[in-house]
Structure 1
Amino acid sequence: MRPYDMGVLFDECADRGSGTRVRLDRPFDIAPDGGTDYGVGDLATLVTAASGWLAAIGTQPGDRVAILKPNHWDYDLLACAAIRLGAVPAQLSAHLPADSLAALLHRLNPAVLLTTTEFATLGKAFAGRVVTLDGPERGVVHLDLLRGHRAPPPRRPREHDPLVINHTSGTTGVPKLVVHSTSTIIRKLAGLESFRLPAIGVRRDDTLANASSYAHGRTFCWTASVFCLAPRRIVILSGQDPDEADVLLRRYPPTFVEALPATFVRWRPLLSRLDNPFRDVRFFLSTYDAMHPPVIRDYLHASQRRRPLWMQGWGQTETGPITFRFFTRKSLAAERERHPSTRDLGRAIPVRTRLKVVDPDTFDPVPRGEPGLVLARTPARCLGYIGENQRWQEKHTRGWWNTGDIAVRRRDGRVLLLDREVDATPGLSCLELEDVLEDRLPAALECVVLAVPGKDPLPVVVTESGRIEQEDWANAVHDLPALQPPRVLTWGEIPRTGTGKVRRLALLTTLTGCADTPGTGRWT
């Protein structure tokens, strides 16, 4: 089976006899009394019911339906329900700052907003109708008043029309609203993932664990593909707290894990427990952001499988995955050295993706081994940005998409990421320094190196205590380029996006009082 119509995805899987069971860490926000155990048929019933709720509030084909709620996989169920009516869902993370949410809602001008009482007042300023999921609020409709309404027959989406709207992470400012069609995100992306590939593909006897930011396009694509592969069990985790995740992971030990980079970091304490829940994992998958070597190394060694694999994908909301690389225990055996490690992003995805590296000023190709701006050509490129057409036009030229990343393409075709263009500093890579520092500082949960115009880079070390030993720092930086004295913070003091990425511009502004960066930021 290949994914196509997201409005009836679960109905089609159920009709084919899929035995996949879904286990949740907490009940869905749209079905608080529905429990935590779902079969594919149950999911189909819930999506159909949600389609009825949207019809009851007056949702019409072509309407934009914004979804803004606590993090959980029912983001994608609500998206499927809207698509079933012919509407276009727009998934917004509740982790976004209030000013960013206001800007995105203003651009969207949604006909309907599904949200919670926390955002109801904001929603009333921008949405035609507001539905709260968690309780009544003056001037809006509570979901309970819509339950039981009969859903109309499903409408099949046209392949090249807008299907879903997702926003970018927003590490350097207000996120972009990215529009994908059935052709780009389902046929070109999910269709590729729904092949049962040897060694790295999803098997029917797998237990998949997914811990993501469910407002983002990655999980919408994942939903479309993974249910076509019909694994035995899917475990959904909505939070990053290791103790809460441990309960479900030990009950259903996964064999295949996909999580946010920040979630892998937060879950590291589980690896040292006697009943390590990752002992049977054969395949780890990370996207959104490059991982640091110590984290990948720890997870690979925690698995009791003979040859566990880690796949790191690099891409963007606008394009889907662009490159991929596999890590093994052997490939990360070297520690504390200055090596590209996880900043080596591997090669472009065969057949479907092409890359070139160009001079940022002239856009002429640069020789292999020289740094430049990365351009990508992929059939999965999105349709455009909502409310920012000029920004969209500036980022693509003659079929090539400007990623806004500075990298080196080696002679063998591998891509070595240096920095985002907005953060690029000639002669060094802040991202590489982060890798090295984290590998050399045992107490570090995360290291961030911020580029500062006219000054040495500013290192930020994240620890549990908010302190590091000066001797450890001196040993870590003895052979590195000049850096400012480190700022040591705790995890909670770092501003983050919904995907756990560091909001670098916000952090830089907080620490220095200035938002200037060495790059232009033109293609951010």
Structure 2
Amino acid sequence: MSLRSFTLQDLINRNAQLYGSNTALVFGAQRVTHAQYARRTARLAAGLAAVGVGQGDRLAILAPNCLEYVDLLGAAARLGAIMVPINGRLSAEEVAYVIEDVAPRVLIVADEYQTLLPQRGLDNTLRYTLGVAPAPWQPVSALYRERDAPAAGLPSVTDGSGLLIIHTAAVGGRPRGALLTHRGLITASLQTQLAWHLTAADVNLGVLPLFHVAAIGFLLAAQQAGGATLLMARFDPPSLVRHIDEDGGSLIGTFPPMLGALLEAAVAQGSALSSLRVVSGIDVPETIARLRATCPQVTFWSAYGQTETSGSISLAPFDERPGSAGRPTALNTVAVVDELDRPLPTDATGEIVVRGPMVFQGYWRCEADNAFTLRNGWHHTGDLGRIDAEGYLWYGGRSPAKELIKPGGENVYPAEVERAILEHPALAQAVVIGVPDVQWGEAVKAVCVLKTGHTLSADDLIEFVGARIARYKKPKHVVFVQALPHAAAGGVDRAAVKAGHGHV
């Protein structure tokens, strides 16, 4: 390890020393202490090293939340390898693209996701199963060795080394792998740990899927404090209420409609969720007000961040400035700039830009995108916002270059959905926009023009798209029109489409 670096392996080793007998992870009936977790990651790293995994190699995993998921993160840190969590909600075509993009040395897959895997392109990949898949798959348990990998780690692994590739949706319709570093992830988790005053007594409720940077962030924030994470493979509100009451769950991240469902289950089970004290994520003011009334001891924290920023770059209690995304965290410089990257005055709206240790290394194998996104010494988020006189950041939507729809906290780029729609032989044109949705916050709507002489139902088009990309990306609403409005400079006037059809 480097003289002046602190990596995830250092954090794991520190916890084993300082909090060794404290619970680090809970999954079903299994409880793992911090000392045992350090041992599990060392054993897994030894097995990976024995099959040839080295620094910079990619370790992909397609599975629900489980202990092996977290073990793989620690083992990657120990070896200087890069973990690639794959979103289990993607289509088979999208999964194949991610695998091709990163060319993993090792692929670990739960049996339930075997049908998503490509039939070709895995000849150079070592394949391991969390279930009972037949050869050439081997059980992941075979990778855990009694002999540890070198305890000191590799001198060339620093906190600036890549640790995690998380694929985000791309403006051009293809996902891009954001390469996050030890430094970025540790900095992000340290700031949230300090903001929320987390201690070794805190228990993170790990219900968000670990292919999300938010889930990784909550996990690492609990680790920073020497606390525990209770992993759940699926979001199940009644079970979650029981876990909060029985295991002292104190913090949770949520996306719509999770928080509302949790509150309903708590009322049904007569629970006050008395140990819960921190909730953060995305939700509407009405649900946050219900949380306040049901659980007055809980603080809902507003935040803004991206996968590319390793987590939240602004944070504050919702009630401190309702509607804002909080204030910039201590170790980030956040600004709002115009189209020439000139800083804008207070309350002026422009693009949100960031610099600091949390900014990612760049998109995997996307040099042109990196040059554009990381230009002029800033990470350009592609999001609009303003900063008020007290320093609170107000999110103002997506820039025209990065139109984005967020159903239930997931990222959906219109270009990706439009590309799938236009694969249908009956379609001539399509524009995809986001519309308000009571349950999910936002929904996908497609405004389409059919080719002359063709007919197609909305339901058939929705199913057609859902068979090609992740089903959460398919349109919830479809309308057919005779023609789309065009701008003076040519091309479809997307603003006019949104003005005319931006409703359910």
Q: What TM-score range do you get, normalising by the shorter chain?
A: 0.7 to 0.9
2:494 aligned residue = 518
TM-score (norm 2): 0.74
Kindly indicate whether residue 338 of structure 2 is the aligned counterpart of residue 358 of structure 1: yes
The equivalences for 1:439-478 within 5 A come to 459=435, 461-462=437-438
1:457 positional shift: 7.5
Contact 1:355 1:375 (C-alpha < 8 Å) held by counterparts: yes
**Structure 2 CA distance, aligned partners of 1:22 and 1:351?**
27
Contact 1:323 1:345 (C-alpha < 8 Å) held by counterparts: yes
1:484 aligned residue = none
Aligned residues: 440
3-state secondary structure, aligned to 1:249: helix
Kindly indicate whether residue 125 of structure 2 is the aligned counterpart of residue 128 of structure 1: yes
3-state secondary structure, aligned to 1:322: strand
- Aligned CA distance change for structure 1 residues 424 and 92 (closer, same or farther; 3 Å): closer
1:178 aligned residue = 178
Kindly indicate whether residue 196 of structure 2 is the aligned counterpart of residue 206 of structure 1: no
The equivalences for 1:113-262 within 5 A come to 113-117=107-111, 118-119=113-114, 121-122=117-118, 125-126=121-122, 127-148=124-145, 150-154=147-151, 155-156=153-154, 158-159=157-158, 161-170=160-169, 173-186=173-186, 188-195=187-194, 200-231=196-227, 233-262=228-257
**Structure 2 CA distance, aligned partners of 1:511 and 1:239?**
34
Letter of the structure 2 residue corresponding to residue 62 of structure 1: G
Contact 1:166 1:216 (C-alpha < 8 Å) held by counterparts: no
1:293 aligned residue = 285
- Aligned CA distance change for structure 1 residues 517 and 185 (closer, same or farther; 3 Å): farther
**Structure 2 CA distance, aligned partners of 1:71 and 1:17?**
23
**Structure 2 CA distance, aligned partners of 1:356 and 1:315?**
14
The equivalences for 1:10-89 within 5 A come to 10-22=12-24, 24-26=26-28, 35-72=29-66, 74-89=68-83
- Aligned CA distance change for structure 1 residues 271 and 133 (closer, same or farther; 3 Å): closer
Contact 2:57 2:105 (C-alpha < 8 Å) held by counterparts: yes
Letter of the structure 2 residue corresponding to residue 40 of structure 1: H
Letter of the structure 2 residue corresponding to residue 138 of structure 1: A
Aligned-CA RMSD value: 4.2
3-state secondary structure, aligned to 1:257: strand
- Aligned CA distance change for structure 1 residues 312 and 358 (closer, same or farther; 3 Å): same
Contact 1:423 1:518 (C-alpha < 8 Å) held by counterparts: no
- Aligned CA distance change for structure 1 residues 25 and 143 (closer, same or farther; 3 Å): closer
Contact 1:162 1:179 (C-alpha < 8 Å) held by counterparts: no
| Offset from partner CA, 1:422-477 (integer Å, 9 cap, x none) | 4989xxx999xx9xxxxxxxxx999x9x999999977454569xxxxxxxxxxxxx
- Aligned CA distance change for structure 1 residues 12 and 501 (closer, same or farther; 3 Å): farther
Contact 1:348 1:355 (C-alpha < 8 Å) held by counterparts: no
1:509 positional shift: 8.1
**Structure 2 CA distance, aligned partners of 1:272 and 1:87?**
45
**Structure 2 CA distance, aligned partners of 1:230 and 1:149?**
25
2:278 aligned residue = 283
1:304 positional shift: 4.4
Kindly indicate whether residue 367 of structure 2 is the aligned counterpart of residue 389 of structure 1: yes
1:381 positional shift: 0.9
1:108 positional shift: 0.6
1:373 aligned residue = 351
2:450 aligned residue = none
**Structure 1 CA distance, aligned partners of 2:493 and 2:386?**
21
1:327 positional shift: 2.0
2:475 to 496, 503, 507: 507
**Structure 1 CA distance, aligned partners of 2:262 and 2:43?**
35
1:477 aligned residue = none
1:245 positional shift: 2.0
| Offset from partner CA, 1:376-433 (integer Å, 9 cap, x none) | 22232111111211111111221111111122333443222221224989xxx999xx
| Offset from partner CA, 1:260-294 (integer Å, 9 cap, x none) | 454324323124235325233232222xxx32112
Contact 1:64 1:87 (C-alpha < 8 Å) held by counterparts: yes
Q: Unpaired segments of 5 or more residues in structure 1?
A: 27-34, 332-340, 435-443, 465-486, 520-524
3-state secondary structure, aligned to 2:283: coil
2:105 aligned residue = 111
| Offset from partner CA, 1:322-355 (integer Å, 9 cap, x none) | 2112123x97xxxxxxxxx43x213222453221
- Aligned CA distance change for structure 1 residues 401 and 71 (closer, same or farther; 3 Å): same
- Aligned CA distance change for structure 1 residues 299 and 394 (closer, same or farther; 3 Å): same
Identity %: 17
**Structure 2 CA distance, aligned partners of 1:133 and 1:144?**
8
Contact 1:179 1:386 (C-alpha < 8 Å) held by counterparts: yes
TM-score (norm 1): 0.71
Letter of the structure 1 residue corresponding to residue 299 of structure 2: L
**Structure 1 CA distance, aligned partners of 2:136 and 2:105?**
15
1:123 positional shift: 7.6
- Aligned CA distance change for structure 1 residues 356 and 461 (closer, same or farther; 3 Å): closer
Letter of the structure 2 residue corresponding to residue 152 of structure 1: A
1:193 positional shift: 4.1
Contact 1:202 1:229 (C-alpha < 8 Å) held by counterparts: yes
Letter of the structure 2 residue corresponding to residue 278 of structure 1: L
Contact 1:113 1:129 (C-alpha < 8 Å) held by counterparts: yes
3-state secondary structure, aligned to 1:373: strand
1:18 positional shift: 4.0
| Offset from partner CA, 1:53-76 (integer Å, 9 cap, x none) | 323433233322112222335423
Letter of the structure 1 residue corresponding to residue 226 of structure 2: A
Q: Unpaired segments of 5 or more residues in structure 2?
A: 419-428, 441-457, 485-491, 496-504
| Offset from partner CA, 1:193-213 (integer Å, 9 cap, x none) | 454x5xx31134334323222
1:508 positional shift: 6.9
1:419 aligned residue = 397
2:387 aligned residue = 409
